[in-house]
Structure 1
Amino acid sequence: MKRIFLSTFLCKILVLTSCTDLERDLGSSINKETSLGLVDARQLVDANYTVLRGFATQDLIFALQEHSSDEVIGPTRGGDWDDNGVWRVLHQHTWANDNNFILNTFNDLSGGVFRSIEALEIAEGQERGEALFLQAWFIFYINDLFGQVPFRENLDSLGDVPVTLKGEEAVNFIISNLEEAITLLPETSNISRANKTTARAFLAKVLLNKAVYADEDRIPPFSFDNTDLNKIVSLCDEVINTGLFSLETGINYYDNFAPENGQISSELIFTQANTRGEPGGNVASRYLMTLHYNQNPGGWNGFTTIADFYNKFEDNDVRKGGVDYPGLTDVSGLKAGFLIGQQYDVDGNPLQDRNGNPLVFTLESPIISEGPTLETSGYEA
């Protein structure tokens, strides 16, 4: 009976008060100026560097740039890697507008642009330079992949439809960002943070592609401006004249992909920091996505390349693979570069696939593998 009485009592209260005008006095309010005052520019800029982790995974920018080309293919091997054909459609250029890789990549890069705009609301000096560089970086890749960039200059009217940057307008906006960034950034050799050298190198890349991006249909022939070409030469000279960078040769080429990141390579200009014990991108996907389950480390038996791409490398090119790399081959038995033919463990014992067949990677790489080469078709990159 107590429960019935209590329920009835509450109902009466609700009936009596339901027609009363309620004026809420929250006692406080917050606006854009107040909210931005809760953080400093350095916090916002540093948070934006974390968006770069999307470049290290196998299912965002890498998927769109590589699987849609002749460099990488994600073959279906039995029950592995079919995933309802999401990898296959990228390689065959048959994707639909609901492809998750495309949607997630667009959202990830757009998040970087948003964070850049947020930082630029309050950033000054070096922090402003870094925010401009990162904004240019994310807009460059949105423009490269999608051909148009939704953009807001500020966060005052998030409900309004953004402007859309296309063609020459988009590339000129990127260039203006980088040119201002160069005037604000420091001269430093920290290659995991934007500095004058990284901005100059990136600006050279943008100018090198300007004729393509300025052409809205991107159909050749393209008209390259001599002023832009001369500027590219000047920017590259400035980068080289720092004395900090040079091309790695021979086996040292693979220092570019070492876990230490830019600490041992003289070739890297801008990288994501890879520090033991600290959060980073999914860098491990770069080898897990190709290695077989029975290799060390055990991979996902996934991506490979195609014969035409592999055959573009000359036989004496160190990038063609099959070379010993210190700290890798002597630890796991793996070779650097393309993995070709019979694979071995660290003691030189030949490896097998899950069915007991020799683990021999072949040049043939059909989009759907079957038969005795089900797990071994295609050279692993």
Structure 2
Amino acid sequence: MKRFLFPSLLVILLVSCSLNEHPKDQIPEEQAYTTARQLYQNTVATLYNYIGGDADGQGLQGTCRGVYDLNTFGSDEAMLPTRGGDWYDGGLWQAMYKHSWAPGHDLCKNAWLYLYKVITLCNRSLETLQAHGNLVDAATLRGYQAEVRACRAMYYWYLMDLFGNVPLITSSDVSMSQVTQEKRSITFAFIVKELQTVLPDLADENSVKSGYYYGRVTRPVACFILAKLMLNAEVYGDDDWTDGQRPDGSRMKFSVDGQTMNAWQATVYYCDKLDASFALMPNYRDNFLVHNETSTENIFVIPMDKNFYRQQQQNLFRSYHYRHAAAYGFTGENGSCATRKALEVFGYATKAEDPRFGENYFAGPVVDLNGNAVADRGGKQLVYYPTAVEMNLSGSPYVETAGARMRKYEVDKNALKDGKLMDNDIVLFRLADALLMRAEAKVRMGQSGQSDFDRVRSRSTGAHREATLLNILDERLLELAWEGWRRQDLIRFGLFRSLYDGNDRVKEDDGHTTVYPIPADVRAMNVKLVQNKGY
């Protein structure tokens, strides 16, 4: 739900990965940067137009065929099975399930171009702030610069996480021929240093609350990213992810606020800061309500308001059966669903089924918002059959109904555009994740993570479990289903493998699929870019 509307923003078009396009050419510079307000609008505020999106490949979450899909459908959490004539799409989604993606895969290209587009905009914003900094006082300028640098670091984090060795570009005045790759460890160190450097100048505000900082990258957001970086330091500090060796997080040293810490200690340090500023909501579902702006747990969200913002939540639309969506007054694409592995972790249809299964998935008979039965296209009760799911459902009697469907967010009865324009803010970061990160880091140090583990788990279930590493991994799926973390978690635990067991299964024991290939079209424009191993 919207609480603060950024003023009208400069429209920026970047239709290719050229690094030399200048959005200020759209409006004369003397008009675009004449007041402090315009400086903020056209350098800082404009960047938040790209956190979400309304077209394929755009946004960190909410849209299709981009960053979120690489992190979700490339894992063992969710899938888009072929349903007869639907969802084959040239083998696109089967490749995600089988881990048989190649440099020409559309999702890789979309994510790469999107992330570099925003990085390029950040670089331009920093140059503009430097050129027109006289419009504001020194402290305000430092704050604006810190915010843009933190945004750029966040996008580099997603880029490095997905693609490994990537070009590190900090200026917009760079030709494509000048672009070269950095080792992953170098980009990792750059991101950490950038965030640590700007941390004191970022606003120490909750960006989920109503007001001036709503939806912005503030100090808690940066602390959350730093915690993620430290928890995954063994992965990000590894420049050859195919040799079976990684750095040891307990031996990796970081300077943190004047102290020397290893990766796990630094993870705990940044999570401590978040725990001091946020609190778990009493009920799991409170974080995903139509009016979830009251959440004390959410740390960073994509602001949603059907009357003011154009960014969309397409993931629910993509999952609902046609008749299920119609019962809400929407349309649906009858696509995405849980894998059998996800069902196993949730204990589906067993005495030990986790209560969060029903919060995250629709399964069994489908009803409308008034509890009335919804009919399928044959006039019978519509029923979802979670265990009937497989990669190719063509010819199956469950072709339309196999798979537990995404629920997660409360249905906004007044949503527009087939339900894609809703008022539920899309949750990117929240405290429950930070508590599980801290629990994991403590266990990796040989300490007990039980307290943090229990804090998260006890909200939803009274069933006790020991806070072992593997139980923490399972708990992360139970708590964070559909939130885009499963791929990263599996890689960190050394368990990233396809569920597909056919004869044409990809040989991935070397770990090459833990990063995606550099897109073929990008390499065609710059032959100096070296393809990741295994592709």
Q: 2:12 is matched with which residue?
A: none
Q: 2:319 is matched with which residue?
A: 290
Residue type at the aligned position of 1:375: E
Q: 1:21 is matched with which residue?
A: none
Residue type at the aligned position of 1:195: T
* Shift, 1:170, TM fit: 0.8
User: Which of 264, 275, 286 is residue 229 of structure 1 equivalent to?
Assistant: 264
Checking the alignment, whether the CA contact within 8 Å between 1:41 and 1:119 is kept in structure 2 is no
1:108 matched to 2:114? The reply is yes
CA distance in 2, matches of 1:102, 1:355: 38
Residue type at the aligned position of 2:165: Q
SS at match of 1:289: helix
CA distance in 2, matches of 1:62, 1:241: 29
1:126 matched to 2:138? The reply is no
Checking the alignment, whether the CA contact within 8 Å between 2:165 and 2:184 is kept in structure 1 is yes
* Shift, 1:257, TM fit: 2.1
Checking the alignment, whether the CA contact within 8 Å between 2:65 and 2:106 is kept in structure 1 is no
* Shift, 1:215, TM fit: 0.5
CA distance in 1, matches of 2:118, 2:272: 30
* Shift, 1:83, TM fit: 1.6
* Shift, 1:41, TM fit: 4.7
Rg (Cα) greater in structure: 1
**Normalized against structure 2, the TM-score is what?**
0.58
CA distance in 2, matches of 1:220, 1:264: 44
CA distance in 2, matches of 1:105, 1:264: 31
CA distance in 2, matches of 1:279, 1:353: 33
Q: 2:274 is matched with which residue?
A: 239
Change (3 A) 1:158 1:221: closer
SS at match of 1:269: strand
* Shift, 1:42, TM fit: 4.0
Checking the alignment, whether the CA contact within 8 Å between 1:256 and 1:265 is kept in structure 2 is yes
1:155 matched to 2:179? The reply is no
Structure with more contact order per residue of length (Cα contacts < 8 Å, sep ≥ 6): 2
SS at match of 1:270: strand
| Structure 2 residue ranges without an equivalent (≥5) | 1-23, 34-38, 53-58, 130-140, 209-214, 253-260, 407-535
Q: 1:84 is matched with which residue?
A: 90
Change (3 A) 1:162 1:199: same
User: Which of 368, 377, 380 is residue 392 of structure 2 equivalent to?
Assistant: 368
Q: 1:44 is matched with which residue?
A: 43
Residue type at the aligned position of 1:305: A
Deviations 1:167-214 (A, max 9, x none): 210100000110122021111122311111111121111111112111
User: Which of 231, 234, 248 is residue 211 of structure 1 equivalent to?
Assistant: 234
Deviations 1:20-67 (A, max 9, x none): xxxxxxxxxx99xx8498432542222212221112212211211111
Checking the alignment, whether the CA contact within 8 Å between 1:293 and 1:299 is kept in structure 2 is yes
Checking the alignment, whether the CA contact within 8 Å between 2:79 and 2:97 is kept in structure 1 is yes
SS at match of 2:182: strand
Superposed CA RMSD: 2.2
Q: Aligned residue pairs: how many?
A: 330
Q: 2:356 is matched with which residue?
A: 319
User: Which of 173, 179, 186 is residue 190 of structure 2 equivalent to?
Assistant: 173
Percent identity between matched residues is: 27
User: Which of 115, 118, 141 is residue 158 of structure 2 equivalent to?
Assistant: 141
* Shift, 1:232, TM fit: 2.0
Checking the alignment, whether the CA contact within 8 Å between 2:32 and 2:42 is kept in structure 1 is no
Checking the alignment, whether the CA contact within 8 Å between 2:388 and 2:398 is kept in structure 1 is no
Q: Which moved more, 1:148-157 or 1:138-147?
A: 148-157
Q: 1:380 is matched with which residue?
A: 405
Q: 1:255 is matched with which residue?
A: 286
| Structure 1 residue ranges without an equivalent (≥5) | 1-29, 322-335
Residue type at the aligned position of 2:309: P
SS at match of 2:166: strand
Checking the alignment, whether the CA contact within 8 Å between 2:166 and 2:184 is kept in structure 1 is no
CA distance in 2, matches of 1:277, 1:118: 30
CA distance in 2, matches of 1:107, 1:36: 30
